[in-house]
Amino acid sequence: MSLKIKLVIVALTAVIMALLGIIMWMVYTQINDNYEEASLDVVDGRIMAQNVDEDGHYRVTGDKIYLDMPGVGQMWLPVLADVPANTRNPQQLVCRNNQQYYLDENHKITSRLGIDVSSHQKDIDWTAVKESGVDFAFIRCGFRGYGSGEIVPDPEFEKNIQEAQAAGIHVGVYFYSQAVTKEEAIEEAETTISLIGDHKLDYPVVYDWETVPEDTARTDKITVDDLTDCTIAFCDRIREAGFTPMIYQNKRLSLLKLELPRLQNYDFWLAEYNDQATYYYDYRIWQYCSDGHVPGIEGVVDMNICFAPYA
């Protein structure tokens, strides 16, 4: 091969490499631009980082949610534009005697104080609870065993709901779920409706699905899709029966285990044990501690604040 041909080959190779570099830079820039536009699209039922189509499924903003995970440390999640953010002013939240209140601009209390109870609280003096300033209570009507999968009515439900309402406390109901399929979630909803019977409720009927970190549970490997499907199935059946459905969940699981854009038709009850809630998205009730003390109840009880009272 002559020297002239070799020089031509070297020159062509250099041109090709330069063109490839330009193309790669353009692709990289376009990917970054697409990411800065921040969107998530659904591909084959899974959320993937893509350009947003006209439907705009799972749009995200440029903001980030920081989360501290045991064994992982700090991580961040993109903020979903499809899910309304919490807009309350934390400066208007005050704590008096371990009871949280939200004040308006005129320093008037606009929130309501509440508790949630089950058979774990045993015999409750509901008159004393009412006189202490508690306005509402969520009462467990039943639960599904995390090992057996059997549904069990709460043995104190009927007594609690009758006596709480007789004392003038506004009442809602919750079911502790360990459902792993939509069919099981609907079964839990049917049980809840049956147990409520003719009782009139002031507050929602709540889907309380929780993990069991201290033991092996039948729900350990449930997927995000399946848990979201279970949540929707329960809430929709509750709504069909004429009640207001609500989802109870803690900060970490709601961010990592639920498809929040699919759940915007239901009110949300946040569990986060802090002086100030750090959950980014909107919620109507905040369970701020699990070790509260209320006259009429022996031992500890969960404490809640409702920002937009139902009654």
Domain contains 71 = no
- Per-residue pLDDT at 25: 46
- Per-residue pLDDT at 74: 87
User: Do 119 and 254 fall into the same domain?
Assistant: yes
What single DSSP character describes residue 202? S
> What is the pTM assigned to this prediction?
0.81
Range of the domain at 17: 3-37
User: Do 162 and 16 fall into the same domain?
Assistant: no
Task: Give 200-244 pLDDT, tens digit per residue.
Answer: 999 999 999 999 999 999 999 999 999 999 999 999 999 999 999
Domain contains 218 = yes
Q: Are 302 and 281 in contact (CB under 8 A)?
A: no
Q: E strands of 145-238, at which residues?
A: 151-153, 170-177, 205-209
Determine the 3-state secondary structure of 83 from DSSP. Answer: coil
Residue 73 — pLDDT band, cuts 50, 70, 90? confident
User: Do 197 and 267 fall into the same domain?
Assistant: yes
Q: How far apart are CA 136 and CA 170, in angstroms?
A: 4
Q: How far apart are CA 102 and CA 25, in angstroms?
A: 52
- Per-residue pLDDT at 29: 40
Q: Are 308 and 282 in contact (CB under 8 A)?
A: no
For residue 116, give the CATH number of its domain. Answer: 3.20.20.80
Task: Give 107-143 pLDDT, tens digit per residue.
Answer: 999 999 999 999 999 999 999 999 999 999 999 999 9
pLDDT at 288 over 50: yes
Rounded (10°) CA dihedral 85, 90, 92, 97: 120
pLDDT at 1 over 80: no
User: Quick one: angle between helices 224-240 and 182-196, nearest 10?
Assistant: 30
Domain contains 143 = yes
Q: Are 307 and 111 in contact (CB under 8 A)?
A: yes
User: Do 25 and 147 fall into the same domain?
Assistant: no
- Which residue in this structure is represented by tokens 């979630």? 185
Which of these ranges, 10-14, 62-66, 137-141, 262-266, has the smallest mean pLDDT?
10-14
User: Do 116 and 28 fall into the same domain?
Assistant: no
- Mapping DSSP onto H, E and C, the string for 30-50 reads HHHHHHHHCEEEEECCEEEEC
Number of domains in the chain: 2
User: Do 31 and 97 fall into the same domain?
Assistant: no
**Percentage of the chain lying above the pLDDT 90 cut:** 74
Which of these ranges, 45-59, 70-84, 155-169, has the smallest mean pLDDT?
45-59
Residue 60 — pLDDT band, cuts 50, 70, 90? confident
Task: Give 232-246 pLDDT, tens digit per residue.
Answer: 999 999 999 999 999
Which of these ranges, 72-76, 147-151, 227-231, 276-280, has the smallest mean pLDDT?
72-76
Domain contains 10 = yes
Mean model confidence pLDDT for the chain: 86
User: Do 105 and 7 fall into the same domain?
Assistant: no
Domain contains 229 = yes
Residue 92 — pLDDT band, cuts 50, 70, 90? very high
User: Do 291 and 160 fall into the same domain?
Assistant: yes
Q: Are 105 and 111 in contact (CB under 8 A)?
A: no
Which of these ranges, 63-77, 156-170, 225-239, has the smallest mean pLDDT?
63-77
Q: Are 179 and 144 in contact (CB under 8 A)?
A: yes
User: Do 95 and 190 fall into the same domain?
Assistant: yes
Q: How far apart are CA 41 and CA 165, in angstroms?
A: 47
- Per-residue pLDDT at 41: 33
